[in-house]
Amino acid sequence: MSKIILENMEFHAFHGVMEHEKELGNTFLITVAMEINTEKAAFSDMLEDTVNYQLIYHTIKKQMEIPSNLIEHVAQRIADKLMNKFPRILQLELKLSKMHPPLGGKVERAMIIVEKSRI
């Protein structure tokens, strides 16, 4: 088994419950770690024997374009979509961070971590 990680993908999106979050948006970071059997790809050197990083990225991007109130909802939706669309993913850990959330003080990020597994 191997882990493939796409780290700190950055998106400007409109998730949040406050009106200014819905209008102005915010910066979000996503890291996804996917456990995959890469043995065949390691020997074949063929893209079809692993997951296509570009397709993973675009799947996440499309989900980030759908406004939601809660990052919990967004993260779960992305994790479910990845597991359904990419059967080679055996397990995944998805971290979604809202940067500088409006909490009334200095906070670098609010983060949720979602884990999914087929095994």
State the amino acid at position 6 in one-letter form: L
User: Looking at residue 119, what is its pLDDT?
Assistant: 87
Cβ-count burial 18-44 (b if 16+ within 10 Å, e if not): eeebeeeebebbbbbebbbebeebeee
Pairing type for strands 109-117 and 89-99 reads: antiparallel
Q: How many CA atoms lie within 13 A of 40 on its CB side?
A: 9
> Could you state, in chain order, the average pLDDT of each consecutive group of 10 residues for the chain (119 residues)?
97 95 96 97 94 98 98 99 98 98 95 97
Catalytic sites, residue numbers:
98
Contact 38, 83 (CB under 8 A): no
Question: pTM of the prediction?
Answer: 0.94
Q: What is the pLDDT of residues 13-31, one digit of tens each?
A: 999 999 989 999 999 999 9
Is residue 94 within 8 A of residue 75, CB to CB? The reply is yes
Q: What is the pLDDT of residue 117?
A: 98
Q: How many domains does the chain have?
A: 1
Contact indicator for 10, 27 with CB cutoff of 8 Å: yes
Q: What is the pLDDT of residue 48?
A: 93
Task: Name the residue range of residue 39's domain.
Answer: 2-117
Q: What's the pLDDT at 52? A: 97
How does pLDDT run across 67-76, given as a tens digit for each residue? Answer: 999 999 999 9
Indicate which CATH number applies to the domain containing 112: 3.30.1130.10
* Cα Rg of the chain, angstroms: 16
Measured between alpha carbons, how far is 100 from 14 in angstroms, rounded to an integer? 14
Q: pLDDT value at position 32?
A: 99
